[in-house]
Every structure is written in C-alpha cells, then in structure tokens.
Amino acid sequence: MPSPEAEALTRYYQGQVLKVAELISRRLRVTAMRADVADIDGWWERMSPQIQQEILTGQTALARLARGYLAQHALIEGVRLAPVVIAAIPEQIAQALLVTGPVAFKTQMAISGSEAAATRVMASQLQGAATRLVLEGDRQTTMRTFAERDEVAGWRRKSGGGKTCAFCSMLIGRGAVYSKQSVDFRSHDRCSCKPELLYREEPEPPEVRRLAEQWRTATAGTSGAGAIRAWRAFQAGQAATP
C-alpha cells in the first residue's frame, strides 16, 4: 500500500485537480445555458474557439501540475522519477465539444421539440465532457509516465471520493495493474477517479480488497454481461440501503 505520506499527498493533489476541472466545467455550463437557441450553429461558431481554448488551457495546466505531483509522490516512496508530460490535442477537444454541444442540442430538439430541454441537455453534456477533457491532462500524463518509465511498476485506480459509480467501483476492485501492455485508464464524463502509480508490487489497500470481495459475492455464478448486470444491481441495492 502507499505510505501515509504518499496517500496524503494524493488526496490533496486530487482535490486541487478536481477544483480546477469543476470550475471550468461549471463556467461552460453557464455559457451553454445562455446559448442563442434561434441560431445554435452561429452561436457555436462564435463561442467554440473560446470554449476550446479554456479546455486546452485547463488540460495543459493539469498536465504540468501532474509533473510536480508525480515526481514528489515517487520521491516519498524512495524513487527518483522524471514524469512524461503529455501535450493536449486540440482536434480531439474540438470534436468532443462539438458532439456534446450543438449535436446534443439538435438531437434533443428532434426528440422533445423543446428548446429549453435541448439547452439543458447540451449544458449538462458539455459540463460532463469538460470535466473529463480537463482531467485528461493529469490522467494521461500519469499513464504516459507509467508506460515510458521503468521506475514505475504499475498503477491502481483511485476513487475521487464521495459516491463512486458501479463502473468505477468495478475497476477499483480489480486492484493494481502491473503490465505495461494492459488496458489503459478508462473514464467517463463526470468521473473523478485517477490512476495512482506504484513503484513495486505491494498488497492492495482495504478499499480494493473490500470491493474485490463484494464483486466475487455479487457476481457468483455469472460471467460477462451477466456479471456486470449483477454488479450494477448489487451497487444499486447498496445505494438504496440507509
């Protein structure tokens, strides 16, 4: 398990990173709620450069912030590490915002015919996408460092705190990944999880062991999609329990 000092650093750092992402995503929601619904394409053409730049700036800032955190985290664990900082890809940001912006608005308009409903859906989807895109600066810098630095043995998914969805709980319960050819870190819009690096094979923390045992119990006798359905049902039951 990580040392108490490394754990405390990660909690503090993750809190700071989420504040940045949430600030930008909330601003984007406010902007979307003020959209010119009579000319959504014209509004997007005017606003999208500013929106994309804000996401690009946030993602780049978190990538640089991750560099300092990763080096300090490794040093606490007795390892000297030179993190690999990712460069943002503007085209990917632009495409993700287009899909969750005017495309989402038009899709909802076709379903409901309500400009108010379409605006709310677009604002919500843009807010979620913005959170994910900004956090990519931290997440992808961490994962690139894992892939390219021999000092890093593996990584473990860490919850952002608060209520964790069934998808993230399932992945957290799988514990540490040590293979550099393994699946990459996966996230969804509004996800607050992050990958935490490990420098040697080590026992899993209590949270991971608890989730792994719950998974075994909840999915006994199932596999594949059936296991995932059983897990989601179990998590829903847990959430409904006072």
The ranges assigned to domains in the chain are: 4-153
All residues at 6 or more sequence positions from 225 whose CB lies less than 8 Å from its CB, including other chains? none
In single-letter form, the type of residue at position 17 comes to V
What's at 93, amino acid-wise?
I
Dump pLDDT digits (tens) for 131-174: 999 999 999 999 999 999 999 999 999 988 767 888 999 999 99
**3-state DSSP call for residue 148?**
helix
Copy the structure tokens of residue 130.
Answer: 């913005």
Q: Tell me if 141 sits within 8 A of 84, measured CB to CB.
A: yes
Task: Give the DSSP H/E element, type plus range, for residue 157.
Answer: strand 154-158
pLDDT at 240 over 80: no
238 has a pLDDT exceeding 80? no
For position 223, what pLDDT does the model report?
87
Q: What are the φ and ψ backbone dihedral angles of 156, each rounded to 5 degrees?
A: -135, 140
- pLDDT band of residue 235 (cuts 50, 70, 90) is confident
Task: Tell me the percentage of the chain whose pLDDT exceeds 90.
Answer: 75
How much is the pTM? Answer: 0.90
* Residue bearing tokens 């993602």: 59
Q: Give exposure, 9-48, as e/b (b: 16+ Cβ within 10 Å).
A: bbeebbeebbebbbebbeebbebbeebeeeebeebbeebe
Q: What is the pLDDT of residues 75-124, one digit of tens each?
A: 999 999 999 999 989 999 999 999 999 999 999 999 999 999 999 999 99
3-class SS of residue 52: helix
d(CA 207, CA 149): 27
Cα separation values, 8 from 32, 52, 84, 147, 238, Å: 36, 33, 23, 24, 28
Q: Is the pLDDT of residue 13 over 90?
A: yes
